[in-house]
Every structure is written in structure tokens, then in C-alpha cells.
């Protein structure tokens, strides 16, 4: 199958599941939380990816006061930040980040700044200079606010940006922002992104003379 070629002016990158494989930590922390609250851990894990913790809690415990979700989320963030065992880069992420180092890009993550720093560091990945973390948005993915803020900070229109995402909430956020989406990993496969790759070894980055970015995507 020939490679799909997408052209953009800027790239907006999710972190967990897209650049960093943190599933082991996420599952440890959220399984523990689900059991403590009388929930089925397997059912809980189906909705945790891509959202900020308080938003996940609101889905799982819809009748609980939001103040309790915010309080629990602060505890969850501290636990996740302290636990980096098993955090590794997604295959191809180091080379991908090196390839885009001089090109317009931003990290747009549901993690807060401390958690993003801990996980990118544990995976030995360069932290982008431009980043939108949980503290900078008023609404969690699937709301498009984070991606729109990332595009604005880079100085590009939404239509000129391509999002890299792994989760249902993240892909929905990218679409709601009016951006094209490259889905990464197994969670993204069934969500009909504009292109899908198993991991970042399947993406080749080319800087065009006119300043645009060409992505050669092997979807095989």
C-alpha cells in the first residue's frame, strides 16, 4: 500500500498513548481508584484515556459533586506523577521528535505540567517548547479548547494543523477543533481518523521548501 501524504503547517501532539506508553501506570492507579469506589475496574479503564481525571470521574460517578472529583483528581495526579515504573516511549517517538525539532509543533495533553514533565522525562523524550497542559484549559478533551490554544500559540489556523492522538476523547477534540487527525495505536484504529498508524515508526517527516510539513504515513 502506498504511503498516505498529509501536509500541514504545524503539528499538535497528545502525550499518553501517542508519544509515551504510560498504560501500566494508568491502569494501576485507576484500577485502585475504581475498586475503592465500588466500580468495575475493566469498565472504568474503557473511559479513562484522553480525559483529565476529574472528567473521567464525572463520567463514572455522574451523581457525585464535582468538588469531590476535583479533590480526588489532585490525589490521582500526585500518585501518577510519582509512579513512572513502566513508562516508555511509543515505538518511533524518539526519532519522530528529533525529526520535528525545528518544525512548528506543540504538546497538548490532559496531564498537568508536573505529570507531563515526569512522563516525558521517564521516556527520555524532549519536551516541546510550546505545550498546553491541564492548568491552561477550562475544559477537558473531548472539548477542543486545548488544541485551539496550541494552534493559536504557534500562530496557525486550525485547518493548517494536524493532531496526533490515540484516544476517543482526543480524536473527538481534534475533529471539533477543525483539524485533521492521525490516530496512533490500537485505541485509535476503530475511530476513523484521517490516517492511522500502529506506532510512530510508520511516520516519516519531510520539511518542504515553502515551510510546510509533509507527513509520509505508512498505514500498512
Cα angle at 42 between 77 and 49, to 5 degrees? Answer: 45
Q: Which residues pair with 132 in a beta bridge?
A: 108
Residue range 91-141, pLDDT digits in tens: 999 999 999 999 999 999 999 999 999 999 999 999 999 999 999 999 999
Give the C-alpha distances (Å, rounded to integers) separating 108 from 116, 148, 167.
Answer: 10, 10, 13
Query: Which is it for the CA torsion 181, 179, 145, 13, positive or negative?
Result: positive
The pLDDT mean for the chain works out to 94
Residue range 136-159, pLDDT digits in tens: 999 999 999 999 999 999 999 999
At 212 the pLDDT is: 95
Q: Which residues pair with 165 in a beta bridge?
A: 183
**Higher model confidence: residue 58 or residue 1?**
58
At 213 the pLDDT is: 97
Residue position matching grid coordinates 478533551? 141
| pLDDT higher than 90, residue 174 | yes
Cα angle at 42 between 80 and 171, to 5 degrees? Answer: 70
Asked if 152 and 161 touch (Cβ cutoff 8 Å), the reply is: no
Amino acid at each position: 500500500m502506498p504511503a498516505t501524504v498529509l501536509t500541514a503547517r504545524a503539528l499538535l501532539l497528545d502525550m499518553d498513548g501517542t508519544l509515551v506508553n504510560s498504560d501500566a501506570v494508568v491502569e494501576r492507579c485507576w484500577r485502585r481508584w475504581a475498586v475503592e469506589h465500588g466500580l468495575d475496574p475493566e469498565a472504568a479503564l474503557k473511559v479513562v484515556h484522553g480525559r483529565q481525571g476529574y472528567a473521567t470521574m464525572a463520567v463514572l460517578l455522574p451523581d457525585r459533586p464535582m468538588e469531590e472529583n476535583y479533590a480526588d483528581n489532585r490525589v490521582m495526579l500526585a500518585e501518577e506523577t510519582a509512579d513512572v515504573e513502566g513508562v516508555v516511549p511509543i515505538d518511533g517517538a524518539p526519532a519522530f521528535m528529533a525529526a520535528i525539532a525545528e518544525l512548528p509543533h506543540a504538546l497538548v495533553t490532559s496531564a498537568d505540567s508536573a505529570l507531563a514533565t515526569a512522563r516525558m522525562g521517564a521516556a527520555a523524550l524532549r519536551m516541546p517548547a510550546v505545550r498546553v497542559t491541564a492548568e491552561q484549559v477550562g475544559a477537558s478533551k473531548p472539548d477542543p479548547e486545548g488544541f485551539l490554544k496550541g494552534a493559536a500559540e504557534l500562530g496557525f489556523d486550525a485547518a493548517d494543523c494536524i493532531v496526533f492522538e490515540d484516544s476517543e476523547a482526543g480524536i473527538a477534540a481534534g475533529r471539533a477543533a477543525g483539524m485533521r487527525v492521525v490516530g496512533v495505536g490500537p485505541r485509535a484504529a476503530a475511530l476513523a481518523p484521517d490516517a492511522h498508524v500502529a506506532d510512530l515508526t510508520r511516520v516519516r517527516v519531510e520539511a518542504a521548501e515553502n515551510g510546510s510539513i509533509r507527513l509520509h504515513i505508512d498505514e500498512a
